[in-house]
Amino acid sequence: MESAHHYNRRKFLRSLSLGLGALTLAPALDTFAGIYPGSATKKLGIALVGLGGYSSGQLAPALQQTKNCYLAGIVTGTPAKADEWASKYNIPAKNIYNYSNFDTIINNPAIDIVYVVLPVSMHKDFTIRAAKAGKHVICEKPMALNAAECREMITACKNAGRMLSIGYRLHFEPHNIEMMRLGQKQAYGKLTSLDTANGFTWGGNSDSWRLKKAMSGGGALMDMGIYAIQGSRYTTGMEPIYVTATEKKTRPDLFGEVDETIYWELEFPDQFVATGKSSYNANWSYLKAVAEKGTFEISPAYGYSGITGNTTAGRMPFPQINQQAAQMDNFADCIHQKRPTIVPGEEGLKDMLVIDAIYKSIASGKKERI
């Protein structure tokens, strides 16, 4: 077995360059490196639709670090935010829209990509409208309220000849990429078990849209559990066939409309079972795999930073990167190169099929086919 000393970044990069072509979900080497030699010189303009916490705290700052794209425009229903962002990021008035005049973005060549960062109930509408306006689209996860909406979005973008990508930033994060490689390449032999969890203790506004089922589609499963579902899928490289799930609620006063904590078992081909859980009332973030000849895990696994990993061979010695910058740069490069994104709408659909089945299993009390 290789010593921890030799299990280093050089080996990681070399293994990526040699092996990722065979992986079902893993991104190419350039997604880790953040360098795209074939890119055109023109930076693509991104318009953020919805200026809530994720746009202001993560995406806008990331767009100050991107190489292939930049913050060109905004769409907001709040005039005060429009003024604030225009001043802070030097956004011209012609690139500022509201939800009523959004469709006129079709006439603006400065906007190449529309990034939908709205409550989930609005994802389908603005993705379809953006595609009809001739713009490529990034849509935040979860992709939509259900799988049926995902299919409508995919069809609309294909009919418009526009690319659709889902905001799965962790496909560009080196520790998660390594989990994909170790699991899919069976670096330690066949997987024997996989356990993953993601959650936090809700301390936010009790009036948040995330706690309104009509806007969010659900609670912690939609918001946090989707990462754990992703982790199970991209570590195994397989798609689950069945799910059994249960729900626990200790604070119905706060989580009356949405799920608080959900536990599930995903059954994959060859009778492999992965366990998972999500919560708005527990601080969880890990992805742990056990194989025939060793173990590998990341914990914390799903945050914007601070991700750490360990394997039987030693610690994963990878750097922290700006995940959102890597994600958006890669999509811009895909548009330039006319190559498919590694996180297309179909990837969002696969997660929603699992989520739909989890909610169905909770309701029926039975194992459900995905």
* pLDDT tens-place string over residues 105-117: 999 999 999 999 9
Q: Which residues contact 277 (CB under 8 A, 6 or more apart)?
A: 197, 199, 225, 228, 261, 262, 263, 264, 284
pLDDT digits (tens, 9 = 90+) for 85-110: 999 999 999 999 999 999 999 999 99
For the chain, list the domains and their CATH numbers.
9-22+174-320 (3.30.360.10), 29-168 (3.40.50.720)
Of 300, 24, 347, 353, the C-alpha closest to 180 is 24
Residue 193 β-bridge partners: 290
pLDDT at 34 over 60: no
pLDDT for the residue 41: 64
Percent of the chain's residues with pLDDT above 90: 88
Distance (Å, whole) CA 26 – CA 263: 26
CA dihedral over 135, 138, 144, 149, signed as positive or negative: positive
SS3 116: strand
pLDDT at 261 over 50: yes
Distance (Å, whole) CA 227 – CA 73: 29
Which residues are identified as catalytic? 141, 227
Degrees to nearest 5, angle at CA 230 with 150 and 176: 135
pLDDT for the residue 21: 34
Distance (Å, whole) CA 75 – CA 133: 14
Residue 49 β-bridge partners: 75, 116
- pTM over the 0.95 mark: no
pLDDT for the residue 204: 82
